Structure formats: C-alpha cells, structure tokens
Structure 1
Amino acid sequence: MEVSNPPLAQVLAEANLHPQPFHREHPDELHTPSWHAASNRPIVDGKYNDPGTGELRDAGGLVFSGPPAVDIIITNIHEGSSNNIFRTQLPFHMEKLLGWILHVVGERKLQLDSVNATPYAIRVVLAHELNEGQFHETAHEMANGIWGQQ
C-alpha cells in the first residue's frame, strides 16, 4: 500500500504561525510574542509600530514568533534531491527541539551533513536523497512532531 504525502500547500500552511491568544497546547510550550514580518516589529494588542511613519497600525499579513521561540531552518543538499528549505519558529527550549530533531534523524536513518544550534536558532542540513514531498514530510515531522510528544 502506497502512503500518500500531504499536499505541499497543506504542509506549508500548517507550518505557519498566526497571531492568536496564548494558550498552552504542550506542557513544555513557552509564551512567544508575535512579530510583524514586513516591519520586523513586535505585535502588541494586535498592532505594530510602523517604522516608516511612526504610526500604530493594525497587524496583518505575515507574522512570525520571536525569542524565546527557536527559529528552525531545515534544508537538503543531496545532489539528487530538489533544493528545498523549510522554516518555522517554535515555542520550546532549543535543547528539547534539538533532541526531537535528532530523534527523527536517527529513526528515519537520514544522512546528516551538519547541525548548528544556538539558544534561539537551529539549522539542520540533510544530505539524504529525498523528493520534494518526502523532504517536506520529513521536515514537517522534525519541526512539528514535537507537539505530539509529552
């Protein structure tokens, strides 16, 4: 029986963080502030300070989570694979995320080129032959599989 991967658009949509009231979904989850991507300013009470005009504006468009969230970038450099990059920010301590990511690497027997981790960033470079769907499914599990772990 062939396992079907979720459509790329669905995987990408699930990885995006959207502004919403804080509520814990995981016992280790941290509270992380939302940032307005275009202005690179924090969002407070649904508004951000526009650096061009100095005005307070309603936040809309792309947002991301800032520290203490950890910025994760996963890429694959295998010569036979498509050039893909997966990015997300997650509200966990770096050590917990790194442990989960390495668990996925070991469980799936992935070829790993390098890993770099700092308190607020993890960079994972795979060197494993994966097609686009396999890469996004693997990266999604590395980044978001932690939500199912208690």
Structure 2
Amino acid sequence: MEASDPLAQFLADARLRSQPFHREHPDELHTPSWHAASNRPIVDGKFNDPETGEVRDAGGLVFSGPPAVDIIITNIHEGSSNNIFRAQLPFHMEKLLVWILRVVGERKLQLDSLNATSYAIRVVLSHELNEGQFHEIAYEMAGGIWGQQ
C-alpha cells in the first residue's frame, strides 16, 4: 500500500503497532496483530506463511483481531458516492457504539441501519455526502475516539 493511501494513513493514525503493548488510551485493549496478506496471527514479529510453511518476519499491512472491533461504514444514499470504510479498533464495542452514535447525532446524519455484535459494528448511512464528506465522517466515527478520554 502506498503511503498516500488514506486507509494506510488511518491505520497509522489509529496507532496499530507491533508488540510490546503500550496503552495510549485509558480504554484501549490489547489486540493481537494479524498479517493481512496471509491472514495469519503475528507472534513475536513473525507469522507462518501458509504457502510455504515457513516462519517469516512480518512486514506490510497488519490488522487487529479480537478483541478489536471490526467497523464497516458505508453510505447507500442514491446520488452519493458509494464508499466503504473499514477499520479494526482496540476498544469495547459499547464504547465505540456510543461514540459513533454521538457523531451521527451531532452531524444530524440519516442512519439507514446499524448492527453491533461483540466484535463488529456495521453502520449504513443514507445521507447525501460527496466522497470527501464521507471520508471525513468515517474517519471521525472510527478515529475520533482516540481523542476522547
């Protein structure tokens, strides 16, 4: 992924990092890292490559597994750009849900549906938004919690 990629920038801003764990927010959970290309857990900076069976150094894009919450935000408003945003965040689902609904309320967004389980939140907006507005809102929903204590 290129450094100018908005998702890569968000992941960097969201403080997804390698071991050892250092709490940067009072409500942050320790979440294991997974190697994105192989979909395998990273242990001590290494992962088991399923294609070769070798243990390799982890590099490239990583994501957080449970107890991180997988968030997908999309907008189905007719006439708006069809964007999808996805992130995994190391917080309890309830705290993230309260934050996301706060953003919906403060911005007076039209919400089509919302689904939340212990490790997943799906937000479907139905609000007229251009691509830039959608990304701004999605980043606030997913990343804004880092500024809340």
TM-score with structure 1 length normalisation?
A: 0.90
Q: Indicate the residue corresponding to 1:19 in structure 2.
A: 17
For the residue of structure 2 that corresponds to 1:57, the secondary structure is strand
Task: Tell me how far 1:106 sits from its aligned partner.
Answer: 0.4
Task: Tell me how far 1:16 sits from its aligned partner.
Answer: 1.8
Alignment RMSD: 1.3
Q: Deviations over 1:15-45 (max 9, x none)?
A: 2254323211110000011101111110011
Structure 2 Cα separation of the partners of residues 12 and 90 of structure 1: 13
Q: Indicate the residue corresponding to 2:81 in structure 1.
A: 82
- 2:45–2:57 Cα contact (<8 Å) kept: yes
Q: Indicate the residue corresponding to 1:28 in structure 2.
A: 27
The 5 A counterparts of 1:113-124 are 113-124=112-123
Task: Tell me how far 1:11 sits from its aligned partner.
Answer: 4.1
Task: Tell me how far 1:85 sits from its aligned partner.
Answer: 0.5
Q: Percent identity?
A: 84
- 1:29–1:91 Cα contact (<8 Å) kept: yes
Q: Indicate the residue corresponding to 1:5 in structure 2.
A: none
The 5 A counterparts of 1:2-13 are 9=4, 11-13=6-8
Q: Indicate the residue corresponding to 1:91 in structure 2.
A: 90
Q: What one-letter code is carried by the residue in structure 1 that aligns with 2:18?
A: Q
Q: What one-letter code is carried by the residue in structure 2 that aligns with 1:47?
A: K
The number of equivalent residue pairs is 142
Q: What one-letter code is carried by the residue in structure 2 that aligns with 1:20?
A: S
The 5 A counterparts of 1:28-47 are 28-47=27-46
For the residue of structure 2 that corresponds to 1:16, the secondary structure is helix
- 1:11–1:137 Cα contact (<8 Å) kept: no
Q: Indicate the residue corresponding to 1:136 in structure 2.
A: 135
Structure 1 Cα separation of the partners of residues 5 and 48 of structure 2: 31
Q: Indicate the residue corresponding to 2:144 in structure 1.
A: 145
Task: Tell me how far 1:10 sits from its aligned partner.
Answer: 6.5
Structure 2 unaligned spans of 5+: none
Q: Indicate the residue corresponding to 1:61 in structure 2.
A: 60
Q: What one-letter code is carried by the residue in structure 2 that aligns with 1:13?
A: A
